[in-house]
Amino acid sequence: MAKTDITPEVEAQVQEAPKAAPAAKTIDSKIPEGPLAEKWTNYKSHQKLVNPANKRRLDIIVVGTGLAGGSAAASLGEMGFNVLNFCIQDSPRRAHSIAAQGGINAAKNYQNDGDSVYRLFYDTIKGGDYRAREANVHRLAEVSNSIIDQCVAQGVPFAREYGGLLDNRSFGGAQVSRTFYAKGQTGQQLLLGAYSALSRQVKKGTVKLFPRHEMLDLVVIDGRARGIIARNLVTGKIERYAAHAVVIATGGYGNTFFLSTNAMGSNGSAALQCYKKGAYFANPAFAQIHPTCIPVHGEFQSKLTLMSESLRNDGRIWVPKKKEDAEAIRAGKLKPTDIAENDRDYYLERRYPAFGNLVPRDVASRAAKERCDAGFGVGTTGLAVYLDFSSAIDRLGEDVVRARYGNLFQMYEKIVDDNPYKTPMMIYPAIHYTMGGIWVDYELSTSIPGLFAIGEANFSDHGANRLGASALMQGLADGYFVLPYTIQNYLSDQITVPRFSTDLPEFVQAEKDVNARIAKLMAVKGNRSVDSIHKELGLIMWNFVGMGRTKEGLETALEKIKEVKKEFWSNVRIPGEADTLNVELEKALRLADFIEIGRLMALDALNRNESCGGHFREEYQTEEGEALRQDDKYMYVSCWEYQGEDKEPVMYKEELKYEAIKVQQRNYKQ
């Protein structure tokens, strides 16, 4: 890998005092003054704006076309900015937001069940185990209603009641029905809505699309983000793009685990390149493990398929009460339908009577792991639990269940070759989403001026655990209703800055670095495919940085990741040439970054000596096996700063203050 340029002064400092505590950088999250509920209104009233004539003189690069990137690019284009929008897929419509199934939350209270902006805010903070920033989450809850209005106006066909009004359902971690949905394809419909708005701007000429382009580096000039280096995935050409501001909307890094519910192309490279250019990476250890995925079944497996959380509205999760029944099922001697009602352990209903099957994802995932580790798991591997619809079918009839979940049942049957109307589904937790990401302040600005991060790519709103149907909400909130405002506060003093030439030395150097990195990879000419090494990394991550983490395990992970890194850089094989379409090279570039991210995740998990949300350190649990936080020590966002190749990153703390909410242990029992 091309060595990052380090000035002699910096190098001297590092050599002199490598372990010394860094000068305590203050992390300024720029939370506006005033009462929580008025912060966003106040901010908008007083922020600086850019007038229409000046907007068209300003260029904004948006990397990613999912819910966050697509909606941001469209909205910025509508406002009159000149937008360059990049994606790695062949069309912006294929971003992985499209795969979100269940729904999107909003505090509309259309069901008259006591919902409110405060309650959505409260549920999100609590669901995130008190590790999210209050002001951001309240703003998220505030704008949630506008999202639904916007999407309906675009022609998103949300599910409706017979009276013609919008229907809702429930998701985990909430006692109200606030989730709007479009069959089991809500992400698809919302993304196509954003894509249609984006397409309209492309026609108007305000947005220019760059499909099949992958960002490989960020260009920083005089401390500000001024452009990107991208690889044209069809021609293999390395290209330079300049702008007044850069927005990263490239999603999460769940594919560090190789097997995840993410799309095959989903990656953390754009985020990692920003980190290497000085943007803080926040809470990398916070990854969400989704409880209802189709279990792993073979070594050839390329990805894991999610079964929507909405299924937990009507499906009941259980394992056999008796170990001998579980053993017989694993041996193929008994079928789940042979187990009498009294011999079934509906463990979520047993442990969490108030929320039952609709506890948050981290709680449901851990409970499944606990039962399987204790020997009650089913399936041939013993790493599966049942999700059973028989009582829903008895209560509602098969037709109603089919209308609600038909496409999910069909998907399950195609993959597993088993009919879930007749026999319960088998599910097991899998990596799904990353709450951690690029650190941003209230304005969604990273620690590099002019660089913004939105959607899953940033860290901001979900704390240590994201509630179901909140990812779509956050992506669209950032893209439609937050960034288009806050970015103007930055751009208002950029109106006199002329367009940048991509011949500036910073662009030349960045392109040189990218080319050197590619040349180094191509020169390895080893014996192993990218995927085979990625699988090795994934297994380490799952075993040691997965659902249950320990100090020893994380230390082992760090050692093993180091070995994987060495193996990768000395033994990877990339056939073909770099200056043309080369899928293996694309994968190798991403894996190089996943290895770094995996390391960062393990470091962060090792640093956080507590359990919270999806981060479960086995040393820190209550007697009942629930996550045990250490609020006096760890009520902060960990912000990691890159110090150079093979140097330990430095961690700064953004202390979290809770003013509107009383911090307590999460309780889903009563």
Partner 1 sequence: MEKTINITLKIWRQRGPKEKGAFKEYALNDISTDSSFLEMLDILNEQLINKGEEPVVFDHDCREGICGMCSLYINGHPHGPDEDVTTCQLHMRRFNDGDVITIEPWRSAGFPVIRDLMVDRGAFDKIIQAGGYVSVNTGGVPDANAIPIPKADADEAMDSASCIGCGACVAACKNGSAMLFVSAKVSQLALLPQGRVEAASRAKAMLAKMDELGFGNCTNTGACEAECPKSVSISNIARLNREYIKAKLKD
Among positions 227-256, residues that touch partner 1 (CB under 8 A) are: 234
- Helix (H) / strand (E) containing 344: strand 344-345
- The residue range among 52-60, 149-157, 319-327, 358-366 that interacts with partner 1, by the rule CB under 8 A, is 149-157
Rule CB under 8 A: choose which of 35, 164, 498, 505 binds partner 1: 164
Binding mask 582-601 for partner 1 (x = CB under 8 A): -xx-----------------
Q: Is 573 a catalytic residue?
A: no
Question: Which lies closer to partner 1 via its Cβ, residue 581 or residue 651?
Answer: 581
Question: Would you call 442 helix, strand, or coil by DSSP?
Answer: coil
**Is residue 425 within the footprint of partner 1 (CB under 8 A)?**
no
- The residue range among 36-44, 192-200, 538-546, 621-629 that interacts with partner 1, by the rule CB under 8 A, is 192-200
User: CA 229, CA 514: separation in Å to the nearest integer?
Assistant: 8
User: CA 241, CA 451: separation in Å to the nearest integer?
Assistant: 14
Interacting residues with partner 1 between 345 and 384 (CB under 8 A): none
**Is residue 524 within the footprint of partner 1 (CB under 8 A)?**
no
Question: Which lies closer to partner 1 via its Cβ, residue 188 or residue 470?
Answer: 188
**Is residue 148 within the footprint of partner 1 (CB under 8 A)?**
yes
**Is residue 6 within the footprint of partner 1 (CB under 8 A)?**
no
**Is residue 298 within the footprint of partner 1 (CB under 8 A)?**
yes
Interacting residues with partner 1 between 610 and 669 (CB under 8 A): none
**Minimum CB separation from partner 1 for residue 202, in Å?**
5
Give the pair of three-digit tokens for residue 33: 């003054």
**Minimum CB separation from partner 1 for residue 279, in Å?**
26
Question: Which lies closer to partner 1 via its Cβ, residue 143 or residue 220?
Answer: 143
Question: Would you call 624 helix, strand, or coil by DSSP?
Answer: coil
Give the pair of three-digit tokens for residue 627: 């996550």
Question: Would you call 243 helix, strand, or coil by DSSP?
Answer: coil
Rule CB under 8 A: choose which of 39, 96, 126, 139 binds partner 1: 96
User: CA 25, CA 13: separation in Å to the nearest integer?
Assistant: 16
Which neighbouring-strand residues pair with 640? 281, 651
**Minimum CB separation from partner 1 for residue 381, in Å?**
12
Question: Which lies closer to partner 1 via its Cβ, residue 27 or residue 202?
Answer: 202
User: CA 281, CA 270: separation in Å to the nearest integer?
Assistant: 12
**Minimum CB separation from partner 1 for residue 578, in Å?**
13
**Minimum CB separation from partner 1 for residue 409, in Å?**
12
Interacting residues with partner 1 between 481 and 510 (CB under 8 A): 481, 484
Residue 59's identity, in one-letter code, is D
Q: Quick one: CA dihedral 296, 301, 304, 307, positive or negative?
A: negative
**Is residue 568 within the footprint of partner 1 (CB under 8 A)?**
no
- Alpha-carbon 591 to chain mean position: 18
3-state secondary structure 487-525: HHHHHHHHCCCCCCCCCCHHHHHHHHHHHHHHHHHHHHC
**Is residue 414 within the footprint of partner 1 (CB under 8 A)?**
yes
**Is residue 112 within the footprint of partner 1 (CB under 8 A)?**
no
Rule CB under 8 A: choose which of 13, 111, 154, 515 binds partner 1: 154
- Helix (H) / strand (E) containing 105: strand 104-105
Give the pair of three-digit tokens for residue 391: 């009582």
- The residue range among 277-285, 391-399, 523-531, 627-635 that interacts with partner 1, by the rule CB under 8 A, is 523-531
User: CA 407, CA 409: separation in Å to the nearest integer?
Assistant: 5
Picking from 159, 164, 209, the residue whose alpha carbon sits closest to that of residue 189 is 159
Rule CB under 8 A: choose which of 18, 22, 353, 575 binds partner 1: 575
Question: Which lies closer to partner 1 via its Cβ, residue 174 or residue 533?
Answer: 533
- Helix (H) / strand (E) containing 392: helix 390-396
Token pair 């937990």: residue: 312
Token pair 């803080």: residue: 280
Question: Which lies closer to partner 1 via its Cβ, residue 91 or residue 607?
Answer: 91
Torsion angle of C-alpha atoms 427, 429, 431, 433, degrees rounded to 10: 90
Interacting residues with partner 1 between 45 and 74 (CB under 8 A): 71, 74
3-state secondary structure 568-585: HHHHECCCCCCCCCCHHH
Token pair 């479960």: residue: 616
DSSP string, 532-566: HHHHHHHHHHHHHSSSSB-HHHHHHHHHHHHHHHH
Binding mask 165-184 for partner 1 (x = CB under 8 A): xx---------------xx-
Rule CB under 8 A: choose which of 70, 127, 265, 463 binds partner 1: 265
What residues have CB less than 8 Å from 152, skipping those under 6 apart? 158, 166
**Is residue 188 within the footprint of partner 1 (CB under 8 A)?**
yes
**Is residue 287 within the footprint of partner 1 (CB under 8 A)?**
no
Rule CB under 8 A: choose which of 98, 132, 545, 602 binds partner 1: 98
**Minimum CB separation from partner 1 for residue 100, in Å?**
9
Interacting residues with partner 1 between 198 and 217 (CB under 8 A): 199-200, 202-203, 209, 211
DSSP string, 173-199: T-SS--EE-STT-HHHHHHHHHHHHHH
What residues have CB less than 8 Å from 566, skipping those under 6 apart? none
**Is residue 411 within the footprint of partner 1 (CB under 8 A)?**
yes
Q: What would you measure as the largest C-alpha separation in the chain, in angstroms?
A: 76
**Is residue 155 within the footprint of partner 1 (CB under 8 A)?**
yes
- Alpha-carbon 478 to chain mean position: 14
Give the pair of three-digit tokens for residue 137: 């989450």
- The residue range among 150-158, 604-612, 615-623, 629-637 that interacts with partner 1, by the rule CB under 8 A, is 150-158
Rule CB under 8 A: choose which of 3, 25, 56, 160 binds partner 1: 160
CA-based Rg of the chain, rounded to a whole angstrom? Answer: 24
Q: At what angle do helices 530-544 and 583-607 cross, to 10 degrees?
A: 20
Question: Which lies closer to partner 1 via its Cβ, residue 196 or residue 621?
Answer: 196
**Is residue 474 within the footprint of partner 1 (CB under 8 A)?**
no
**Is residue 146 within the footprint of partner 1 (CB under 8 A)?**
yes
**Is residue 311 within the footprint of partner 1 (CB under 8 A)?**
no
* Total residues binding partner 1 (CB under 8 A): 80
Question: Which lies closer to partner 1 via its Cβ, residue 115 or residue 217?
Answer: 115
Question: Which lies closer to partner 1 via its Cβ, residue 211 or residue 553?
Answer: 211
Interacting residues with partner 1 between 529 and 558 (CB under 8 A): 529, 531-532
Q: Of the listed 231, 312, 361, 608, which one is catalytic?
A: 361
Interacting residues with partner 1 between 72 and 91 (CB under 8 A): 74-75, 78, 89-91
- Helix (H) / strand (E) containing 10: helix 8-16
**Minimum CB separation from partner 1 for residue 488, in Å?**
14
Rule CB under 8 A: choose which of 111, 175, 196, 630 binds partner 1: 196
User: CA 326, CA 373: separation in Å to the nearest integer?
Assistant: 12
**Is residue 92 within the footprint of partner 1 (CB under 8 A)?**
yes
User: CA 346, CA 386: separation in Å to the nearest integer?
Assistant: 9
Looking at residue 359, the DSSP 8-state letter turns out to be S
**Minimum CB separation from partner 1 for residue 378, in Å?**
16
Question: Which lies closer to partner 1 via its Cβ, residue 299 or residue 341?
Answer: 299
Give the pair of three-digit tokens for residue 150: 């916007």
Active-site residue set: 361
